[in-house]
Chains A and B, each alone.
Chain A
Amino acid sequence: MPKILEVKNLRITFPVNGGRFAPAVDGINFHLNQGKVLGIVGESGCGKTVTALSLLRLIEEPGRIEEGQALYYGTVEGVSPPPRRPGPQRPEPPEGYEGPEATPVDHLMIEDLRREPTAEINSEKAPDGGIDLFKLSDEQMRHVRGNNIAMIFQEPMTSLNPVFTIGDQISEAVRLHQKVGKKEAEEISIEMLRKVRIPDPQKRIHDYPHQLSGGMRQRVMIAMALSCKPDILIADEPTTALDVTIQAQILELIQELIDDMHMSVILITHDLGVVAQVCDDVLVMYSGMIVERAPAKRIFSKPKHPYTIGLLDSIPPLFQDAGELLHTIKGTVPDLSRLPAGCRFAARCPRMVDACKARVPPYKYVGEGQEVRCLNY
């Protein structure tokens, strides 16, 4: 499975009172496979959005990307990628060999087995040749934005400029990166609106954002983001502000467009239902760190980290007696400027041991592409 994006040791800090720096994102590693959907889950303030914005280098002052790499395995206009280091040669398979023998398990299992174990990603064996987004010039970065990596946002109500028609706005996005005329850009806009299933696109392009409902606006945002056919789509809580039926429609739309346009997606959410519906892999973030990563199915079937388990338990059951309290994770998120030395979840963890307070637990590979940062395993 080729990678399209790989983030190595990303660390983002914000200054806090007294000249100290709070690490909003503290040394995270992950990668995004081509054509897959990577979910990033976590509560507010855990660093999900900051991570996403950093990939486009849109962290606002005084926030800073302290260290790390974001390697993009694609072509950026005006950037020649560093040469690939020749990796270790794989021995040629013998004549007549037709791959490993298929085991008679259902295809879903095979999917899981074929997934490369994530532990390998952290090793230094990852292929060279990616373009480090953090090292590009501002001008080069402008080409990346929208063209290679596009983003959609949480609030469709305010993400469109109220003074221009949606047709103008999509055409503008098209013309920023493609050398096309006004007329052609408008045709592309209509085509994109049709793709996101807005009825009557020829008429709708003359509408102003206030004439559209929230769901329609999110469709317009998606159309705009996809108008330049980016490799990667970052969706920052794309359904949070929408009501449930529209949520489902938007998720289906995203899913379909991914399959259609061979895009890779980073989906940021705090809604585990969304993860279950569209994600292939999941990162669970807590207080600026990744505490667990796994294929989406494993997160639901075999959650390991106490935080993940707590999150899953907090989903209100469909049938619950009135008066019965909802499950919560006790305690609060640690203050980013006063982080504990050990596991950041320790203070709230029901399974804490003394060693948890001493140091941040390392990643532990627990099989089937699942890794967890917890001393209990």
Chain B
Amino acid sequence: MREVAVLGIGQTKFGELWDRSFREIGIEAGLEALVDAKLSSADLGALYLGNMASGTLLDQEHIAPLILDYAGLAGRHLPAMRVEGGGASGALALHQGYLAVASGLYDFVVVGGAEKLTDVPDSAAAGITSSAADHEWEVVFGATLPGLWALIARRHMHLFGTTREDLARVAVHDHEMGSRNPNAHYRNRISLEQVVGASPVAEPLGMLDCAPLSDGAAAVVLGPLDVARRHTDTPIRIAASQVATDTMALQHRDDLTTLASTVVAGRRAFEQARRAPKDVRVAEIHDAYTISALLALEDLGFAEKGRAGPDFASGRFGLRGDLTVNPSGGLKAQGRPFGAVGVAQVVEIVRQLRGEAKDRQVPGATLGLAHDVGGTGATSVVHLLERVP
């Protein structure tokens, strides 16, 4: 297996992109990444496209060749495939692209992630995204994605004394960071009182505890590390790419306050990279709901079990803390275009490691982590990225 590097990144604005189609945003992010990698399309080996629900959102399956076609590459007859893993689709696509380059099968691949959630009514979008949970044994009985995460939150509060304010601080932080990110869906700062006082969605979670339904696309170009300097001054090595799964439904977990898939994917990733959580300076973690972020911090080893809330309150995870979390604004503020999320997280980590993140730059970051989750944790994906000295 050869070492793999990120050579180029691209991302559209996240948000309500009313005047832009799925094809347009997919192509924009991909071409931006190719240009960034100083790569000609003639060098491309394959496309991996992370997307959760184009069939139900757009009545369009078979989207990987579609994007290549509209990028003008149909005549190259490249292999292209869509990768699906609920909200973790983008990160899973990256894992596939990583394997393809590492194996030596392809030299350069584009990994894209794209989702268009505003082309259906909001109520339909909520129903479609809840298909990342177990439809037959959760959704049929009245469960929603925020509802399931609320069940986790309530249990966490019960066992560890996590407070409503502990949850709210995640959203406050995310919006603070989002205000510094021109691509973010939400760029407004919010107060603790606003989060706590927002209208309830699934108690204890309120409207401002939940990431929005966004449109957006992101892409990276991957290639062999040994030729990376030809394409970029700051190659970013993929130090680890790990996927883990767990039971589909929350109800089958022994421990409701831990995502075992995240614990395992994280452990495998640190083993693969021969690094430890303390080495990580910047992390993009799954914060579709504020409770998701607290769980992720504990499950990835950044906080002791049950302590993520107080740790968050201490400022440890802020821009000047010892581990900066979600400098992009996370899913909460940057936005949540399901299939694009996992790729966008890596795009942000690359920006941070390259030192290109401007007024949200985490100082001295050389090792970064990206963590994405599908549903309530049936899939977790962890990537570790490292600036090559």
Task: Verify that A and B bind, or say they do not.
Answer: no
